């Protein structure tokens, strides 16, 4: 079949028309047209804010930041129904920095260089999202952080406010504080990677369902000793206060003092569904200070602890009054103990696997329960070491149907109601 000259001409006209139309899409605002340079030297704060304000005044739209290194000496506010978007359609990979000059990770995409409020943690966030606004497809980088020094404190990189704010496909390469997801409704944090140094994601005062999906924090930016040891001694990857029906899926963190911390804020505690979450090389993988009565449900988790003054996978403190359940989770790494439990609440382990506790051969039990209620059912203790210790203040306990390597070593000093039976040792 031959294509005539006329057909080729018509096709070219059609393609030209589509191209011309795409250049003039309504509600699409290019920051370059508002004066942004993207050269890593010029302060682009005012240009970006002008584009964002224009989109907001016209009822919403997409503010597009093409490939470039955009320097910010100030902060941005994203109006309602506005998306601030870079070129990335998925989170890029940046493994470290070659120099302390212009950073290697800014050579190939849309990168925001953030400099405002160094050493002023209580300053305004770099980017504030509002109702139905989104940040998508960018890299956030703090060029004044040193890869091998105690980190500089900065305010939150991103604050989520209003209803339905979203952070999608974003790399937070090295912020001091990552995402403040408080005081909003139905936030969505999806496909976010990086190395927040002090805090990763903080969620509190959420009274309608929030969602966190595919968020992974790894030391891609720096594992140099001085900075990374500071992070290990001070960092908290995920912090949850009051949040109702929180959904967390496929999240991971490496190298923090606490992987997942559940607190009692002034607004209350957490209830929610945590599926496929993980924490590796954290001093404490999961720290539960409080949970809502409706419960924290952790399923298919993987937790590893082997550094710090007392490496422990799960710690439930004396302040805990709610309920937390671990189902089909795996715990390993040469820790001191798998879990240390106190408080008056309920803690359950079902169909879990325990390995490598009591690394110093001190005779520690895998699970040490000081008080409250504990349910341990259908789990596997894969080492020939002491398994469970119940203290005098334990109110209730059911320990049944577990598979144990070696002799059954369950110490029961409880004066409460305890049921122990049908456990299979060797």
CB-neighbour burial class of residue 344 (10 A; exposed 0-12, middle 13-18, buried 19+): middle
Question: Nearest 5 degrees, angle CA 292-CA 295-CA 297?
Answer: 140
Tell me the CA distances in angstroms from 43 to 36, 65, 379, one per residue in order: 8, 14, 57
Residue carrying the six token digits 């990168």 = 111
Q: How confident is the model at residue 18, as a pLDDT?
A: 40
> How far is the C-alpha of 231 from the C-alpha of 411, rounded, in Å?
37
The CA R_g of the chain, rounded to the nearest whole Å, is 25
The predicted structure's pLDDT at residue 17: 45
For residue 378, what pLDDT is reported?
Answer: 98
State the sign of the Cα–Cα–Cα–Cα dihedral 361, 362, 363, 366: negative
Place of tokens 């497809």: 137
Of 331, 332, 276, the C-alpha closest to 299 is: 276
**CA pair distance 301, 238, nearest whole angstrom:** 14
**Predicted pLDDT at 26:** 66
Strand 403-404 versus strand 380-381 pairing type: parallel
- Does residue 222 contact residue 96 with C-beta atoms inside 8 Å? yes
**What pLDDT, on a 0 to 100 scale, did the predictor assign at position 15?**
47
pLDDT of residue 103: 46
The CATH class that applies to domain 27-234 reads mainly beta
Low-confidence ranges of the chain (pLDDT < 70): 1-26, 95-107
Separation of alpha carbons 376 and 410, rounded Å: 12
Q: In which residue are the tokens 């003039």 written?
A: 24
Q: Look at residue 57 in the predicted model and tell me its pLDDT.
A: 97
Alpha carbon 12 to chain centroid, angstroms: 48
Cα→Cα distances 233→62, 88, 308, Å: 40, 33, 8
Say how far apart CA 364 and CA 109 lie, in whole Å.
Answer: 51
> What is the reported pLDDT for 99?
43
Return the exposure string of 113-131: e unless at least 16 CB atoms fall within 10 Å of the residue's CB, then b: bbbbbbeeeeebbbbbbbe
- Neighbour-count burial for 162-194, b at 16+ CB within 10 Å, e otherwise: bebbbbbbbbbbbbbbbbbbbebbebbbbbbbb
Q: What pLDDT was estimated at residue 63?
A: 98
């Amino acid at each position: 079949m031959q294509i005539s000259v006329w057909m080729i001409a018509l096709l070219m006209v059609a393609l030209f028309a589509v191209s011309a139309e795409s250049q003039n899409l309504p509600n699409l605002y290019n920051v370059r047209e508002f004066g942004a340079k993207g050269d890593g030297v010029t302060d682009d704060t005012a240009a970006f804010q002008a584009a964002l304000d224009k989109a907001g005044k016209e009822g919403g739209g997409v503010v597009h930041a093409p490939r470039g290194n955009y320097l910010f000496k100030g902060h941005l506010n994203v109006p309602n129904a506005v998306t601030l978007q870079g070129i990335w359609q998925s989170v890029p990979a940046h493994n470290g920095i070659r120099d302390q000059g212009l950073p290697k990770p800014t050579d190939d995409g849309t990168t925001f260089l953030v400099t405002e409020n160094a050493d002023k943690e209580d300053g305004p966030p770099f980017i504030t999202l509002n109702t139905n606004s989104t940040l998508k497809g960018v890299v956030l980088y703090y060029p004044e952080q040193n890869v091998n020094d105690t980190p500089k404190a900065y305010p939150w990189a991103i604050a989520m406010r209003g209803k339905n704010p979203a952070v999608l496909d974003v790399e937070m390469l090295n912020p001091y504080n990552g995402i403040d997801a408080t005081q909003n409704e139905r936030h969505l944090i999806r496909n976010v990677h990086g190395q927040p140094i002090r805090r990763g994601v903080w969620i509190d005062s959420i009274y309608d369902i929030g969602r966190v999906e595919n968020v992974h924090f790894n030391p891609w930016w720096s594992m140099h000793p001085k900075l990374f040891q500071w992070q290990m001694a001070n960092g908290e990857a995920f912090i949850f206060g009051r949040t109702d029906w929180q959904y967390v899926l496929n999240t991971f963190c490496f190298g923090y003092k606490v992987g997942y911390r559940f607190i009692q804020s002034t607004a209350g505690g957490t209830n929610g569904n945590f599926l496929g979450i993980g924490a590796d090389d954290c001093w404490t993988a999961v720290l539960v200070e409080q949970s809502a009565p409706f419960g924290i449900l952790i399923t298919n988790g993987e937790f590893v602890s082997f550094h710090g003054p007392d490496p422990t996978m799960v710690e439930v403190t004396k302040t805990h009054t709610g309920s937390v359940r671990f189902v089909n989770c795996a715990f390993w790494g040469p820790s001191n103990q798998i879990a240390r439990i106190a408080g008056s609440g309920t803690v359950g382990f079902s169909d879990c696997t325990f390995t490598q506790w009591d690394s110093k051969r001190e005779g520690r039990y895998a699970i040490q329960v000081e008080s409250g209620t504990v349910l341990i059912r259908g789990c596997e203790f894969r080492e020939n070491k002491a398994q469970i210790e119940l203290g005098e203040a334990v109110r209730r306990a059911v320990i049944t149907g577990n598979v144990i390597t070696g002799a059954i070593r369950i110490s029961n000093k409880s004066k409460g109601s305890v049921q122990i039976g049908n456990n299979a040792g060797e």
